[in-house]
């Protein structure tokens, strides 16, 4: 009998020391790094690669008031890239700013970027980051 009680107590372990019930609510501070969030709030690296390609394409076309759609079939993310304002010169290269939309499920956001024309004439993305409203 004593052995059964000792086995029961040792199997219960730290559950005897807890004051909360089996259905205690977890607060925001209780999450650990090992628990993954089911919904992603921003673009993946692959999503960004599709957006960068669309930015380069629309800037290469050089059309005024043009937008270039993009979509990542593996994540379902999509959006479009629209050049802003006129081209400018930075460090001896022609550059242009752009705005990219990002939509994935219920998540929507905007990215701002800058691209400069390389020596070969191709537009290279210099920056792409979350849009900061001013």
60 assigned to some structural domain: yes
Name the average pLDDT for the chain: 76
85 assigned to some structural domain: yes
123 assigned to some structural domain: yes
CA distance 57 to 130: 20
> Using one digit for the tens of pLDDT, what is the confidence trace for 18-66?
333 333 333 344 444 434 434 456 789 999 999 999 999 999 988 777 9
Tell me what pLDDT residue 65 has: 78
103 assigned to some structural domain: yes
- Residue 133: is its pLDDT beyond 80? no
3-state secondary structure of 13: helix
Count of the separate structural domains present in the chain: 1
Residues 75-83, mean pLDDT to the nearest whole number = 96
66 assigned to some structural domain: yes
Residues 96-107, mean pLDDT to the nearest whole number = 94
Confidence of residue 134 (pLDDT cuts 50, 70, 90): low
57 assigned to some structural domain: yes
Confidence of residue 4 (pLDDT cuts 50, 70, 90): very low
Question: Residue 44, exposed/middle/buried by CB under 10 A (0-12, 13-18, 19+)?
Answer: middle
Q: How crowded is residue 55: how many other Cβ atoms within 10 Å of its Cβ?
A: 27
Q: Which residues constitute the domain of residue 77?
A: 45-130
């Amino acid at each position: 009998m004593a052995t059964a009680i000792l086995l029961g107590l040792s199997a219960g372990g730290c559950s005897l020391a807890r004051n909360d019930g089996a259905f205690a609510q977890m607060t925001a501070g209780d999450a650990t790094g090992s628990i993954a969030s089911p919904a992603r709030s921003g673009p993946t690296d692959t999503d960004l690669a599709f957006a960068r390609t669309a930015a380069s394409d629309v800037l290469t076309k050089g059309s005024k008031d043009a937008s270039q759609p993009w979509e990542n079939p593996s994540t379902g993310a999509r959006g479009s890239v629209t050049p802003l304002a006129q081209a400018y010169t930075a460090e001896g290269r022609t550059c242009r700013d752009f705005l990219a939309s990002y939509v994935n499920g219920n998540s929507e956001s905007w990215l701002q970027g800058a691209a400069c024309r390389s020596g070969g004439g191709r537009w290279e993305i210099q920056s792409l980051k979350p849009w900061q409203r001013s």
